[in-house]
Amino acid sequence: MLKVEQLEKRYDGRTVVDKLSFHVRRGECFALLGPNGAGKTTTLKLALGLVAPDGGRIWLVGEPVPARAREARARVGVVPQFDNLDPDFTVAENLVVWGRYFGLPDAQLWQKVPYWLEFAGLSGREKAKVGELSGGMKRRLTLARALVNDPDILFLDEPTTGLDPQARHLIWERLRQLMQAGKTLVLTSHFMDEAERLATRLAVVDHGQLIAEGSPRALIDRHIEPDVIEIYGDNAVPWARAAGLADVRLEVSGETAFFYGEGLVDLEERLDAEGLRYVRRPANLEDVFLKLTGRELRD
């Protein structure tokens, strides 16, 4: 459904996509993960033919991009990072007007409006103005709008950024429905829980380069010890640095110390004995991400 090879993009002489190669098969949910500025949005725009590459090759739904980007985009749905719904139109009009860009007849579009609104959880709101909708409703309407041309593949740029937990869960549920209906999804995210839940495969990118690729489980197994103990509070970090434990890896982030290892039973006994506060959990995708991309802030 999507294949990029040795993709390159420079802005003002600065490389923001650096010889990136990956592919997405039909029915997959593929996530591009990376810190702010890693080049995720630029990669999506390149794949859609909205930005011209400085090198490399792209095929989207079998069409070469940018040469046949228009033909390819007719079979693609896009949920951009920032909702760009038309505030002058009603909820229903936003869907119908979007459908006209694909040359679909009005009568056919109006007929499908109730179906799309039901999918978006917006039944009965067809006459509402966009400004009357909550952030979660706008996101769902943007998602419904991406479906008007019955696309084979959807591109979603940070689909749940800025939403509260309830609204995020609703979007995830809808995305899973789309996967069950056979759609292919490509999403960017910096939320590890989102990627771990949805993605069948993911690529971690940083500084425009692919630094790891695989299923969430495979990446966790490959890069991280199975067990984690997080110690936090005033004395956590000095205690952790002085603990002198064998066979564990220590990482520090702010006032939290992370111990990675297998079992970690001895450590747990010592923490219990000393009355320190800690959380014990299995390793997750966030541990992989922080190990590969570092813990310093990216603004």
Binding site for ligand ADP (CB under 6 A): 11, 16, 34, 36-42
| Minimum separation from the CB atom of position 186 to ligand ADP (A) | 13
Angle between helices 106-119 and 135-145 (to 10 degrees): 140
Nearest CA among 222, 225, 171, 163 for reference residue 198: 171
- Please identify, using beta-carbon distances, which residue of 21 and 90 lies nearer to ligand ADP: 21
Comparing CB distances to ligand ADP, the nearer of 37 and 55 is 37
Exposure letters 102-126 (e unless 16+ CB within 10 A, then b) = eebeeeebeebbeebbebbbbeebb
C-beta contacts of 38-42 below 8 A and 24+ residues apart: 38/205, 38/206, 38/207, 38/208, 38/293, 39/9, 39/205, 39/207, 39/208, 40/157, 40/188, 40/205, 41/81, 41/157, 41/188, 42/9, 42/16, 42/17, 42/208
Cα distance between residue 45 and residue 52, in whole Å: 9
Nearest CB to ligand ADP, comparing residues 16 and 144? 16
DSSP secondary structure code for residue 211 in this structure: E
Shortest Å distance, C-beta 133 to ligand ADP = 25
Choice between 14 and 244, CB closer to ligand ADP = 14
Contact 97, 37 (CB under 8 A): no
Quote the least distance from Cβ 207 to ligand ADP, whole Å: 9
Coil, helix or strand at residue 214: strand
User: Between residues 41 and 209, which has the closer beta carbon with respect to ligand ADP?
Assistant: 41
Closest separation between CB of residue 202 and ligand ADP, Å?
Answer: 14
- C-alpha of 292 from chain center: 17
CB closer to ligand ADP, 120 vs 203: 203
Q: Which two tokens stand for residue 262?
A: 């297998």
Distance of alpha carbon 73 from alpha carbon 174, whole angstroms = 22
Identity of the residue, 12 or 234, whose beta carbon is nearer to ligand ADP in the bound complex: 12
Question: What amino acid is encoded at 58 in this protein?
Answer: I
Provide, rounded to whole angstroms, the least separation between the CB of residue 9 and ligand ADP: 8
Q: Please, what is the minimum distance in Å from the beta carbon of residue 39 to ligand ADP?
A: 4
- In whole angstroms, how close is the CB of 72 to ligand ADP at the nearest point? 20
Asked if 91 and 133 touch (Cβ cutoff 8 Å), the reply is yes
